[in-house]
Amino acid sequence: MELQVAVDHEGEVRVDLARREREASEAGDALTRASVALQISQCDARTQALALMTLHYCTALQHCTADFEVSDSLQEDKK
C-alpha cells in the first residue's frame, strides 16, 4: 500500500512541476524553467525506480504464490 501512495505522490508532484515549467516558460524565466526541468528529471527517475520496485514486488508475490500452490499440491498428493 505504501508503494502505491509513493507512486501517486510522484504523479502529483510531476503534474505540479509540469505546470510550474509551463508558467516559467510563458514568463520567459529561463533560470526557473531550467531548475524545474531538473526537478522533473529527478521526479521521473524516482517514478522509474518505483516502477521497478513494483515489478520486483509483483514478481516476488507471484513466486511466493506459485511456491504455496506447489506445497499445497504436494500435501494433497501425500493424503
pLDDT, residue 75, reads 75
pLDDT, residue 79, reads 61
> Could you tell me the CA-to-CA distances from 26 to 16, 32, 38 in Å, in that order?
15, 11, 18
How far is C-alpha 31 from the geometric centre of its chain's CA atoms? 28
Mean pLDDT of the chain: 92
Residue 27 has pLDDT above 90, yes or no: yes
Range of the domain at 62: 2-78
pTM for this entry: 0.77
For the chain, the domain total comes to 1
